[in-house]
Amino acid sequence: MKSYFIPPDARHHAIVPAPPSFFLHSQGLIMKNSTSVFVAVLQQVALLLFLVSIAGCGSKNKSFEEGMKTGSNLQELARKIETGEKQIDTSMREGDALVNAPQGDPRKQFEQYRKSLRSLESTASDVRDMANDMQKRSEAYFAQWEKDMAAIKSEDIKNVSAQRRAERVDQFNKLQASYGQVRDAFKPFLTDLQSIEQALSVELTAGNLEAMKPFVAKARNDAVPLNKALDDLRLQFQQLGVQMSPVTKK
C-alpha cells in the first residue's frame, strides 16, 4: 500500500473528511433555505435589472430619470404642505388677536391678518400647481415604465416589474384621492378667512369686530381637523417620495 508522508508540524492541520450523513443534512438545509428566499431574491433582481437597464439606455429610456424627478417633487410638495400648516396657524392667531384683543387702533392688527392670509393663499396656489404637475408627471412616468418593460427578455423578471408598477400606480391613486379630500376641505375654510377679511375691510369698527367673533371661532375649530388631514397628507407625500428615491438617507 502506498503511504503519504505528512510533516509533523502539519499533521494537526490535516483535513478530516466529514461523514456522508453531514453532507446529506447540509444539502437538505441548503435546499430548504434556497426555496424560502427564491421569490424574494427574484423580486430584488428583477427590480435591480430593470433599473440598471433603463439607467444604461441613455436618452432611449426615461423611466429612471422620471422616477427620480417624481420622487423629488413629492418630497418638495410635502415641504410646501408643511409650510401651509404653519401659515394656517399664523392666520388663525392673527385673526383671534384682531377680534378678541383689538388694540385702540386695530388697523395694524388687520394688516397683519391680511398679510398672513396672502401668504396662505400663495402657498395654497403653489401646492395646487405642484399637485397638478405631479399628476401629469406620474402619468408620463408610468407610461414610460410600461414601454421600458417591453425590453426585458426574462418573462419572470418582466412579471415582477409589472407587479411593482401596479403597486406604485395604486399608491399614486390613493395619494391623489387623499389630496382631493383635503383640497375640498381646505376651499371653504379659506373662503371663510377671506370673507372675514372682506367684511372687516368694509367696516373696521369695534361693533364689526364683535360681529366677526363667531366666524373666527368657527374657522379656528375647522382648522383643527384640517391641519390633521394636511399633516397626514404631508406624510404620505414624503414617504412615497423617499421610496422613489434611489438613495435613502440613514
- Domain positions in the chain are 47-243
What gap in Å lies between CA 189 and CA 211, rounded to an integer?
18
Residue with the larger pLDDT of the pair 156 and 10: 156
Q: Residue 215: pLDDT band by 50, 70, 90 thresholds?
A: very high
pLDDT at 144: 87
Cell of 177: 384621492
CB-based burial of residue 125 (10 Å sphere; 0-12 exposed, 13-18 middle, 19+ buried)?
exposed
- In total, the chain counts a number of residues equal to 250
The C-alpha cell at 145 is 415604465
- Please state, in angstroms and rounded to a whole number, the distance separating the CA atoms of residues 151 and 51: 12
CATH fold label, 47-243: Four Helix Bundle (Hemerythrin (Met), subunit A) (1.20.120)
> Which residue, among 37, 61, 38, 50, has the nearest Cα to 159 in the 3D structure?
50
Say yes or no to pLDDT of 109 above 90. yes
pLDDT band at 32 (very low <50, low <70, confident <90, very high): very low
Q: What is the mean pLDDT of the segment spanning 170-194?
A: 96
pTM > 0.85: no
Would residue 16 be called left, alpha or beta, if left means φ above 0 and alpha means ψ between -120 and 50 degrees? Answer: beta
Q: What is the pLDDT of residues 146-173, one digit of tens each?
A: 888 888 899 999 999 999 999 999 999 9
What percent helix, strand, coil does the chain show, rounded to 5?
A: 85, 0, 15
